[in-house]
Structure 1
Amino acid sequence: MKNPLEGSVIRRVMVGTDRSETADQTVQWAAGLADRYDAELFIVQVIVPKYPSATEFGESEQTSAVAANNDLAHFARQIAGERGHALVVINADPALAIVHAAEQEAIDVLVVGNLGMAGRKEFLLGNIPNRISHNAHCTVIIVNAAHSADERAPHSVRASLSNDEIPSFKPRLVARATHIAAVMAKHGLTELFSQSDPDISIRRQQARRLRGALEELGPIFSKLGQVLSTRPDLLPIEYIEELVLLQSRVPPMTESEVVRVSEQELGVPWEDVFKSFDPNPLAAGTIAQVHRATLETGDRVVVKVQRPTARADIEQDLALFEMFAEKVGKRPALNQVINMEDVFKHLSTSLHRELDFRQEANNIERMRTVLADYDRLAVPSIHWDLSTSRLLVMEEIQGIPIKQAPAGPERIQAARQLLESYYKQIIVDGFFHADPHPGNLMWWKDCIYFLDFGMVGAVGADLREHLLLMLMALWQEDAGFLTDVTLMMTNAVNSNDFDVAQFQSEIGEVMAKYRAASLAEMQIGPLLQEMSTVSLRHGVPLPASLTLATKALAQVQLATAELDPTLDPYDVAGKYLMRLMVKRIGAALNPKTFVYQSQKLKVRTLRVIEALENLVGVRPGGPKLVVNFKANSLENIVRHTGRRLALGLTAAASILTSGLTTMSTAVAEWVPVTFGAVAGLLTLGLVIDLLRGR
């Protein structure tokens, strides 16, 4: 790229400093530029006053400034000889002070560093280079002081002079792997990878040591453990209980890091977007940190900023974890405890999803649609024009924790809607907020707001149908049917060595335990979690998406219990399920849907008959069933049974339709009469066929 300063007449160069080490590096760079053009070098230092100038302390500051000016003049002569000049200014605004000094001295090029500007009174002043570049009337060069050793000719009037704003990722895998091995050995985890002990107490000790090792290995490994704590289908329960306790002790990002990442993502100067910014983070995590801010429009927002090294750190540790999984994951002893291949796949998918903030923004918008029917539930709005994969700008929810919500009908309504919405999220939409702990639920404007959509869950269509049946079985206290549904969900219906009677007995005990509990303890979420534990013990773990859903349901029921202790979760579930079934029946009565479903039933019935005919050898070309009885007799039975089944199902559908349309005021009177007549004729035909077949 052509140097824009080539051909320019540069007689005077000014550089700002606060005499810190990084600022001195910027001065060195500016001195090199002045020497190249044989220009004079002006070094300016701004002292931010702490006291009024008329006071005794203010006069002391003036005296200190004179002394600082003498020191700076000596420094300037050391750097640039006779061409070096010094200027110390007392001003509450460092950026404007430097701009005014440049105007007074008729400076041609003004050099500032992006680090080391001390004396800031608020976070935005940390972005002094941008403010200078916007207000100065001369050429401004911003030097990346963190990498100023790379002294290249400036190629842009307003740019960092480092080759790379984001350092290249060169993971030191060998050194990191050695450190990991040493920590694992220190915590005595080597036997975990060589043998499996059935003793629960020993496994709990191993799990405790594993937690200690992950915490010592740093935030990334703590994050890995936290992700795994949501998957009881991948790890034994002893490990899950320990990993839940993991704490990520992460130091907050520096102001310069927050500014740098934000400007890289915004593509414009920081102060062009934000009017103010709270330097104290609301939260600092492994991947990102959250701050309050105010936009230039006056809107109050929260800003989620990704750590500059988050992706590199996670990629490095995932690469090591993948190598580890390949080397030891196939050991039989380890596989009895952990399925390393599934663990790595889950970790990689989850962490890469969390690294892209656009996923979280899309989750929020999708949840907004899911909650559209609930006037007491809401989510923050997204500033899409300011949000990227590493920066998320959202409406600030200026509320209070839900347990502090004022008493009143709004609180009672919100509690019921919150619980009911989770049945809808999980059973109907198959998309739910997977971490609804009290810190992620806020009360504002008489509504409950969901926060932090970094963790969401998805439930497939088939599993949603099974879960619907499961909740209905719980509502009706039918342990036998609940067992059947659970086995269908776990694909254990055809397992020959499975003790169904014992499994049903334990499921029944769990159901009885919770149904007999007091109203405050009557929780569907914990019940489902305990059922999951029973299933794991019998070697038929529930699907991963369901275990995450039951965990979320357990959390949300604790929240609703705080809002309304008198709320019966079974009553909420039962009434919602009834409305859902009526709605589905109503949808089925749509003429187009009714005809379509009837044709599907007809096709499926014919396929069953054809399959049976192929099986007994009636149709040529199909598999033959060799039996010691007459196939023709069986053929007649199959044909008669299929015909009667079709008549019975169609008659039942007509009766149901006639009854439902009778209660509707929007349907003409002849419709239920017609369906009733059809039902009567079909029923008569079925009776005649039964009598004839005797």
Structure 2
Amino acid sequence: MSQSLLSTDDVTGQRYDPEAIAQYYYRRPWIVIGRAISVAFLLGTFAIRLILDRWRDPQHKNKPKRATELRDILTQLGPTFIKVGQALSTRPDLIHPDFLDELIKLQDQLPPFDTKTAFAIIERELDRPVQEIYQDISPQPIAAASLGQVYRATLYSGEAVAVKVQRPHLLPVVTRDLFLMRWAAGWLAPWLPLNLGHDLSLIVDEFGGKLFEEIDYINEARNAERFATNFRDDPTVKVPDIYWRYTSHRVLTLEWINGFKLTDTESAKAAGIDPNEVIKIGVVSGLRQLLEFGFFHADPHPGNLFAMADGRMAYIDFGMMDQLEEETKETIAASIVHLINRDYYALAHDFNVLGFLTPDTDMTPIIPALERVLGNAIGESVGNFNFKTITDEFSALMYDYPFRVPAKFSLIIRSLVTQEGLALTLDPNFKIVEIAYPYVAQRLLKGESPAMRRRLLEVLFQDGKFHWARLENMLLIAQTDGQFDLLPTAQLGIQYLFSEEGQYLRNQILLALTENDRLHTEEVQRIWNLVKHEFEPNRLLHVAWNAFRDLSSEQVAAFVRPDSTQTPSAA
């Protein structure tokens, strides 16, 4: 990172480089001294009040008051610290549960900056007068947030657009604050009321990297187009078009979305929009981002999601996005099923794979703790599952055990909690699992990839035994949304059974059917009763033909001559 980058307003799209930032400010200490004194005074006096509370208030009666004070201080300190507060609100491994609820309320709304300054930024970035770019533009911003503000305008070609303009001097402010945070992290960590569990500097770097991505509008525009490509075949999701000719690192021009904020239920209903359908679109599209594409919108707050009059849901603001690896997507899907099946041993292993626990963590005390906390959160039935309840219960667990939330999952948690909160606003009786678990069950049953088929086997087999009840439960739940077509899944299943990869499953099904020296006709009959209405003779013949026509003679022979030595690892 060059010196000129930090001494001007220009955002060049460079990645966050903590070492380069540190070198710059170490050579110019006068730039950060005043800010350091201001930050130290506000946070220092707050820390002193916390210490005094420990002496004078053993019952912690002042904690709600202190939590509110912390939120006010972060707001006063400006954009970087507001973003810190929002990030900390999703980090139960760092913040005591008493403070989480207040930080969740932290708003990123700030007073707008001067329109004359905003127009000057537009003209400098796009290298032409505002009047030549837009046929008309609102004289005042229609929305202002911590990093920028938005105007409504019309292009000379007639399209209505939103013009997003970044706050002046934002990059120097952000880099200065990140430098101070990282510098303070090195020696303040032992004194902070945080359950760190690992290097605090790493947390600052994770945060800084995402913040640098968010303040680069070219990056945001690319994210929007990638998101739109993922949902190109989904008629329920709308992504605004990007006008690249009028976009730069600090100015973003995109299609104007006519719709209603998801929290504006009265207007949505008056326009004939069904809130329940909007809820379903939001939850399913969120799950597709996590489990299919791996590329997900990490900031779905009410200002970023709109219900449109034609029934679609529109996403806007793609500054905060992240990407999941294939193994992570598969493990998330499996962990949801393990949670619902109350398989806490497998769930603890999932947490290890996902990075919530280090490989050397002793699982002995953690498994019963997971059962105690998450079992209570789920309740007596799957329908009682509430993600906010899970998060609250899990916060206490993470504060007592060596958990940490990887950076990606802090964004996922924020996304899921926010979406569930929006859904509950529209429907107080909403249960996220009623939509989420059928989707996950369908994904596993379809087994579209070898890894996903392996996850299905892990769910259906335990201790070498086939669990008929789990298959029955999964089929039942997959059918609850009324849209699951079992026949394509059956076709994939037949092809899989006759493949070399399916050899282990063939053997296990034969063993399951004759387990304990009896034919398990009762279990098979129950499953048949669940699915028989979907198997009309004509469709069933068509599926069978499609499944068998591509099978080689070797595959058919392999089916009738199973190899009992096959292991699940080949799946």
Flag whether TM exceeds 0.5 (same fold): yes
Which residue in 2 is equivalent to 1:226? 86
Match of 2:155 among 295, 299, 303: 295
| 8 Å contact from structure 1 (residues 532, 542) kept in 2 | no
SS at match of 2:561: helix
CA distance in 1, matches of 2:83, 2:241: 27
CA distance in 2, matches of 1:409, 1:255: 35
Match of 2:285 among 398, 401, 421: 421
CA apart distance, 1:425: 0.9
Cα 1:364–1:666 change in 2 (3 A) is: same
Q: Which amino acid aligns with 1:429?
A: F
CA distance in 2, matches of 1:358, 1:283: 20
Match of 2:328 among 446, 463, 485: 463
SS at match of 2:153: strand
CA distance in 1, matches of 2:391, 2:50: 33
User: Could you list the runs of 5+ residues in structure 2 that have no partner in the other structure?
Assistant: 1-7, 12-24, 455-499, 511-539, 567-571
Cα 1:182–1:414 change in 2 (3 A) is: closer
SS at match of 2:93: coil
CA apart distance, 1:306: 0.9
Which residue in 2 is equivalent to 1:573? 436
| 8 Å contact from structure 2 (residues 95, 195) kept in 1 | no
CA distance in 1, matches of 2:225, 2:509: 38
Which residue in 1 is equivalent to 2:371? 504
CA apart distance, 1:271: 1.1
CA distance in 2, matches of 1:524, 1:672: 47
Q: Percent identity?
A: 25
CA distance in 2, matches of 1:181, 1:491: 33
SS at match of 2:164: strand
CA apart distance, 1:285: 2.1
User: Could you list the runs of 5+ residues in structure 1 that have no partner in the other structure?
Assistant: 1-163, 595-647, 688-694
Are positions 1:451 and 2:316 aligned together? Answer: yes
Q: How does 1:234-633 map to 2 (within 5 A)?
A: 234-247=94-107, 250-329=110-189, 331=190, 336=195, 339-402=199-262, 403=265, 404-406=267-269, 412-444=276-308, 445-479=310-344, 481-489=346-354, 490-491=356-357, 494-496=360-362, 498-499=364-365, 500-512=367-379, 515=382, 517=384, 522-524=385-387, 526-527=389-390, 530-531=393-394, 533-561=396-424, 569-585=432-448
Give the paired residue count. 460
CA distance in 2, matches of 1:288, 1:352: 14
Q: After superposition, what is the alpha-carbon deviation per residue over 1:81-117, rounded to whole angstroms, capped at 9, x for unaligned?
A: xxxxxxxxxxxxxxxxxxxxxxxxxxxxxxxxxxxxx
| 8 Å contact from structure 2 (residues 339, 347) kept in 1 | yes
| 8 Å contact from structure 1 (residues 427, 465) kept in 2 | yes
| 8 Å contact from structure 1 (residues 661, 667) kept in 2 | no
| 8 Å contact from structure 1 (residues 420, 572) kept in 2 | yes
Which residue in 2 is equivalent to 1:634? none
| 8 Å contact from structure 1 (residues 431, 459) kept in 2 | yes
CA distance in 2, matches of 1:378, 1:355: 23
Q: Which amino acid aligns with 2:33?
A: V
| 8 Å contact from structure 1 (residues 532, 541) kept in 2 | no
Q: Which amino acid aligns with 2:140?
A: N
CA distance in 2, matches of 1:286, 1:447: 28
CA distance in 2, matches of 1:667, 1:447: 36
Are positions 1:666 and 2:546 aligned together? Answer: yes
Q: How does 1:3-14 map to 2 (within 5 A)?
A: none
Which residue in 2 is equivalent to 1:677? 557
CA apart distance, 1:513: 5.8
Taking only aligned residues, the RMSD between alpha carbons, in angstroms, comes to 4.2
Higher relative contact order (CA 8 A, sep 6+): 2
CA distance in 2, matches of 1:166, 1:414: 40
Are positions 1:175 and 2:55 aligned together? Answer: no
CA distance in 1, matches of 2:392, 2:552: 45
SS at match of 2:447: helix
Q: Which amino acid aligns with 2:292?
A: V
Query: Is 200-209 or 355-364 further displaced after alignment?
Result: 200-209
| 8 Å contact from structure 1 (residues 459, 546) kept in 2 | no
CA distance in 1, matches of 2:543, 2:388: 36
CA apart distance, 1:296: 1.4
Cα 1:655–1:567 change in 2 (3 A) is: farther
Query: Is 486-495 or 398-407 further displaced after alignment?
Result: 486-495
| 8 Å contact from structure 2 (residues 374, 390) kept in 1 | no
| 8 Å contact from structure 1 (residues 479, 507) kept in 2 | no
SS at match of 1:496: coil
Q: After superposition, what is the alpha-carbon deviation per residue over 1:287-341, rounded to whole angstroms, capped at 9, x for unaligned?
A: 2111111111121111110122211222222233233233434x46667568531
SS at match of 1:279: coil
SS at match of 2:313: strand
Which residue in 2 is equivalent to 1:652? 504
Q: Which amino acid aligns with 1:297?
A: S
| 8 Å contact from structure 1 (residues 416, 567) kept in 2 | no
Query: Is 419-428 or 398-407 further displaced after alignment?
Result: 398-407
CA distance in 2, matches of 1:487, 1:650: 28
SS at match of 2:329: helix
CA distance in 2, matches of 1:307, 1:318: 17
Which residue in 2 is equivalent to 1:40? none
SS at match of 1:252: coil
TM-score, with normalisation over the residues of structure 2?
A: 0.69
CA distance in 1, matches of 2:82, 2:246: 30
SS at match of 1:467: helix
CA distance in 1, matches of 2:120, 2:501: 68
CA distance in 2, matches of 1:291, 1:456: 23
| 8 Å contact from structure 2 (residues 507, 562) kept in 1 | no
| 8 Å contact from structure 2 (residues 9, 169) kept in 1 | no
Q: Which amino acid aligns with 1:424?
A: R
Query: Is 504-513 or 205-214 further displaced after alignment?
Result: 205-214
CA apart distance, 1:354: 1.9
CA distance in 2, matches of 1:573, 1:673: 40
Cα 1:230–1:362 change in 2 (3 A) is: farther
CA apart distance, 1:358: 1.4
TM-score, with normalisation over the residues of structure 1?
A: 0.58
Which residue in 2 is equivalent to 1:154? none
SS at match of 1:666: helix
Query: Is 486-495 or 233-242 further displaced after alignment?
Result: 486-495
Q: Which amino acid aligns with 1:559?
A: L
Bigger Rg, structure 1 or 2: 1
Cα 1:302–1:386 change in 2 (3 A) is: same
CA distance in 2, matches of 1:524, 1:180: 35
Are positions 1:217 and 2:89 aligned together? Answer: no
Q: After superposition, what is the alpha-carbon deviation per residue over 1:609-667, rounded to whole angstroms, capped at 9, x for unaligned?
A: xxxxxxxxxxxxxxxxxxxxxxxxxxxxxxxxxxxxxxx98633567999x99943324
